[in-house]
């Protein structure tokens, strides 16, 4: 059952990206909500042992991602749906962050805070992004109410990426690499959303937002499954 669900996930991805390119609103509205539903099923069916606290956190994160996905589909109806989507993904990142602290090799020393320099590229990236976003959001009366939620959200996703980094050598290497790559793709996807909404509209932005997001979510899911597989094997 695992492989058919994996095929279904990527098939739905192709359909969704095709719908974006073709500006097919109906197909977009049908395919987008299916993505996280399929990923939850794939994740649940791929668990080799019991459904642990770690797995429950991951599944809950995918569910709140689905909330975020659906909410953002209706932003054109009411801007408050953007805030609802932000809350959904905020909870997703908090759940991911918590799950990333549940490592396999608990006796191995964490890379942070001892080697804090490893997060310097992330710090520079976020400072650069916010230096563009904050003045634009604050300077527009229509977007000014979004400033505090955006700052909270940016903090949450930064913490999520930092804790993904902190899994280094505390889980097996493939799990670390997949989750870290997925966390970065998720962050870049969110960055495109913010730039497109608060700065300048970007060409083909919806396509690239979803490509980064869908791939990132899969890498996080697969990386976390491999962490548990290694733990059970050990």
Question: Residue 142 class from Cβ within 10 Å (0-12 exposed, 13-18 middle, 19+ buried)?
Answer: exposed
Q: Which of 210, 168, 203, 165 minimizes the C-alpha distance to 185?
A: 210
Tell which residue, 98, 34, 46, 91, has the closest CA to residue 65: 91
Task: To the nearest 10°, report the CA torsion of 171, 182, 85, 228.
Answer: -30
The predicted-structure confidence for 129-145, as pLDDT tens digits, reads as follows 999 999 999 999 999 99
pLDDT for residue 233 = 43
The pLDDT tens digits of the residues spanning 46-61 come to 998 889 999 999 999 9
Q: What is the pLDDT of residue 77?
A: 86
Residues in the chain: 234
CA dist 172 and 52 (Å) reads 18
DSSP 78: -
How far, CA to CA in Å, does 26 sit from each of 23, 29, 204, 209? Answer: 9, 5, 18, 19
Query: At which residue do the structure tokens 């791939």 appear?
Result: 215
Percent of the chain with pLDDT over 70: 97
Single pTM value for the model: 0.94
Range of 45-49, 64-68, 103-107 with top mean pLDDT: 64-68
- CA distances 9 to 4, 36, 131, 156, 229, Å, are 9, 9, 36, 27, 21
């Amino acid at each position: 059952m695992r492989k058919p669900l994996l095929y279904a996930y990527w098939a739905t991805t192709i359909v969704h990206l095709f719908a974006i390119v073709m500006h097919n609103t109906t197909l977009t509205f049908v395919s987008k909500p299916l993505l996280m539903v399929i990923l939850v099923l794939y994740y649940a069916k791929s668990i080799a042992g019991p459904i642990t606290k770690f797995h429950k956190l991951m599944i809950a994160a995918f569910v709140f991602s689905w909330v975020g996905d659906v909410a953002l589909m209706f932003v054109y109806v009411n801007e408050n749906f953007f805030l609802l989507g932000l809350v959904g993904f905020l909870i997703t990142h908090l759940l991911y962050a918590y799950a990333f602290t549940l490592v396999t090799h608990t006796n191995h020393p964490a890379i942070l805070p001892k080697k804090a320099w490893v997060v310097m590229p992330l710090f520079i990236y976020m400072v650069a992004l916010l230096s563009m976003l904050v003045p634009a959001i604050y300077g527009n009366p229509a977007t000014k109410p979004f400033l505090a939620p955006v700052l909270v959200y940016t903090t949450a996703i930064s913490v999520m990426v930092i804790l993904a980094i902190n899994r280094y050598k505390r889980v097996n290497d493939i799990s670390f690499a997949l989750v870290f790559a997925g966390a970065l793709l998720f962050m870049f996807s969110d960055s495109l959303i913010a730039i497109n909404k608060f700065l300048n509209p970007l060409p083909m932005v919806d396509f690239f937002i979803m490509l980064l997001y869908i791939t990132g979510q899969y890498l996080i899911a697969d990386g976390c499954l491999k962490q548990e597989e290694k733990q059970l094997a050990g």
